[in-house]
Amino acid sequence: MKKYDYLIVGSGLFGSIFAYEANKRGKKVLVIDKRSNIAGNIYTENKDGINVHKYGAHIFHTSNKEVWDYINQFAEFNRYTNSPVARYKNELYNMPFNMNTFNKLWGVVTPEEAQAKIEQEKKEAGITEPKNLEEQAISLVGKTIYEKLVKGYTEKQWGRKCTELPSFIIKRLPVRFIYDNNYFNDKYQGIPMGGYTQIIEKMLDGIEVKLNYDYFEHKQELDNIAEKIVFTGPIDKYYDYKFGELEYRSLRFEEEELNIQNYQGNAVVNYTEYEVPYTRIIEHKHFEYAKSLGQEDTISKTIITREYPDTWNREKEAYYPINNDKNNALYQKYADLASKDKNVIFGGRLGMYKYYDMDKVIAEALKCVEENLK
């Protein structure tokens, strides 16, 4: 009999939920993580009263009541609404594209005027069969929105010109003919008051956790200590790239503390010019400190993070998969192999090779619990 029922590789949402539910059912669990902190990419660190999202902005949103109720066991959420602002040169535009955006771009006031303007630009472009992402975007929203708010941002995200990117990357560009800056359409939305790390701490309470512990450096020893492995890292790496390498995008974060109370007046500002190397600046205090969130800002300093897209290689952290046809077909080979492997369960963005939001990760983890923990 092995020492543990489950070895869980990765302490993000998927791994921690599985660990919590297994422990609740009396299973012996070991959680390991190669990082020096728990919580994966949702890790937040409190600095002088500001909860810093160390791996990019995480705004929880879902329409799944079961998922919402589940996560609310572990923290109380505020009513933060994601309303990013896009900055093009010295012009600021509300996102997602809505009547506030169109009024600033063209001076239009009514939905009918905005629709007419977009239709006019689409007609002038005369694109019937888009050959690349640039043509696809213009055929959906016209030239003005594309050039100011889509082009530079997208080229930075993908590390390639829009004329070189396939059209299918953008299937639609949502435009709203209402005055509403709420980015998401979901029923439930917010940020856990006190940050995300507390959620994972509560889930892993009473469970053995080893940090700074890389599965691949200790593979031989680890493969023999548990009946089953729950693996939330890259599936292709687990199988030693047997069928070849899947593609991912990486990110780089540059954090700065400033001795001013309020730097940009919003939690997220996207920089849509190609010439500005970062895609966005996050000002962390605005996730929790605002009159509208019921908490006054009395902190005299602020912390910002510049987020840079980065080309992934094996030495860098993989943040999200590139789900094009080629990669999805390659992933399917790994998924078929995994389905025959009775000793391992794959989960999370990297293990399942899907660009999941947090609520989808939770739903998948609960489904996995249902299937594996009777």
Q: What share of residues in the chain are helix, strand, coil (percent, to 5)?
A: 35, 20, 45
Amino acid identity, position 223: D
Ordered alpha helix ranges (H), the chain: 13-24, 65-71, 99-106, 111-125, 133-141, 143-145, 151-158, 197-203, 219-222, 235-238, 325-340, 348-351, 358-372
Name the active-site residue from 35, 87, 280, 349: 280
Give the chain's radius of gyration (CA, Å). Answer: 22
- Does residue 176 have an active-site annotation? yes
**From the candidates 129, 172, 205, 315, which is the catalytic residue?**
172
Q: Catalytic one among 45, 245, 310, 357?
A: 357
Which residue type does 370 have? E
CB 272 within 8 A of CB 157: no
How many CB atoms lie under 10 A from the CB of residue 212? 10
Select which of 35, 249, 288, 349 is catalytic: 249
Told to judge if 172 belongs to the known catalytic residues of this protein, a careful annotator would answer yes
Asked whether 13 and 364 are in contact (CB, 8 A), the reply is no
3-state DSSP assignment of residue 261: coil
| Residue whose entry in the numeric block shows the structure tokens 């509208």 | 292
Active site residue 307: yes
Catalytic: which of 176, 271, 289, 334? Answer: 176
| Residue 359: both structure tokens together | 């609520």
Is residue 252 annotated as a catalytic residue, yes or no? no
CA–chain centroid gap for 45, Å, is 17
Please report the DSSP string for 62-114 in residue order: ES-HHHHHHHTTT--B-------EEEETTEEEESSS-HHHHHHHH---SHHHH
Torsion of the alpha carbons at 138, 139, 144 and 147, rounded to the nearest 10: -10
Q: Is 280 labeled as catalytic in the residue annotation?
A: yes
Question: Is residue 87 flagged as an active site residue?
Answer: no
CB 299 within 8 A of CB 289: yes
- Consecutive H or E run containing 285: none
Active site residues: 172, 176, 249, 280, 307, 355, 357
